[in-house]
Amino acid sequence: MKPSIVCAALFSFILLYGSAQSQQSQLVQKWATDTVLKVPESVYFDAKNKVLYVANIDGQPWEKDGKGSIGKVGLDGKIIATEWVTGLNAPKGMGVHNGKLYVADVDGIAVIDISQGKITNRISFDGAEGLNDISVDGKGVIYVSDSKTKKIHRVENGKATVFLENLNGPNGVLWNKSNLYITDAGGLYKVESNKSLTKLADGMEGGTDGIEAVGDGSFIVSCWAGAVWRVRPGSKEPLLDTREQKINSADIGYDPATKTVYVPTFWKNGIVAYTLQ
């Protein structure tokens, strides 16, 4: 090969490499709520009603003290109601189906009628101790993690069964495009039809928490200790690290239309919105 061709090829590679480097993902802050929420563990983006639901623990993470609530926040970051629905214990993950908001609440699921703004039903679990995250498929089947018993439960027509067990530290669950994804002890996994786990990425320390699908085959994963990652099969990319500031990043929400990531800050009592770029 002629030297000029070699030089041209090398120059093209450098340009492509530089372009790829410059296109790395990042989170750019849009807004932050006032810090009047009550230990927000989870945030859920409701596209239909154009609102955010926030699970307020308002106490210790696993206590059945009756202090928990669900708040409502506008997409502009303005708090609509700090305590929109009360009567919960230590609420965490949420999912929506057919006008109902399903909330993981220690050892059961609270069912909230969104139009009425009140709890209309509760789903109980035998042996549940630490229900954490929820995802609902298109048919209304609920998947919920139990971080204390290290299981994933499946709820259909109000009946709960054990779907996966003997995990290491399950938390986030996400039903996306006919597949279930979970976070477990620092890793993101796809659950195959035979219930085996395919690892997409690991090494995300600090308590892997929420999962959201970006829509291009990648995922956003939060870690409770204060880190957010973008995961593609076989690789991960850091987006946010607030561990030094002691700001947690718990169970995130995501708006794919505006590429907005909503991060609950737990003990800091607020929600921070970021644009994914």
What is the pLDDT at residue 48?
Answer: 97
Assigned domain for 214 exists = yes
Q: 277 with 25: CB under 8 angstroms?
A: yes
Residues whose CB is less than 8 angstroms from the CB of residue 14 and which lie 6 or more positions away in sequence, other chains included: none
Assigned domain for 11 exists = no
Amino acid at 239: L
Assigned domain for 21 exists = no
- The domain total for the chain is 1
Domain, as residue range, for 136: 29-276
- Could you identify the residue written with the tokens 């009360």? 86
What is the pLDDT at residue 23?
Answer: 54
Q: What is the CATH number of the domain that holds 192?
A: 2.120.10.30
Assigned domain for 6 exists = no
Assigned domain for 12 exists = no
Q: What is the layout of strands, in order, in the sheet containing 271-276? A: 27-32, 271-276, 260-264, 253-255
Assigned domain for 107 exists = yes
Assigned domain for 3 exists = no
User: Residue 151 burial by CB count (10 A; 0-12/13-18/19+): exposed, middle or buried?
Assistant: buried
Assigned domain for 1 exists = no
What is the pLDDT at residue 6?
Answer: 40
Q: pLDDT tens string for the chain (277 positions)?
A: 444 444 444 434 433 333 333 359 999 999 999 999 999 999 999 999 999 999 999 999 999 999 999 999 999 999 999 999 999 999 999 999 999 999 999 999 999 999 999 999 999 989 999 999 999 999 999 999 999 999 999 999 999 999 999 999 999 999 999 999 999 999 999 999 999 999 999 999 999 999 999 999 999 999 999 999 999 999 999 999 999 999 999 999 999 999 999 999 999 999 999 999 9
223 pairs with which residues across the strands? 208, 227
Q: What is the pTM of this model?
A: 0.91
Distance from C-alpha of 43 to C-alpha of 144, rounded to nearest angstrom: 16
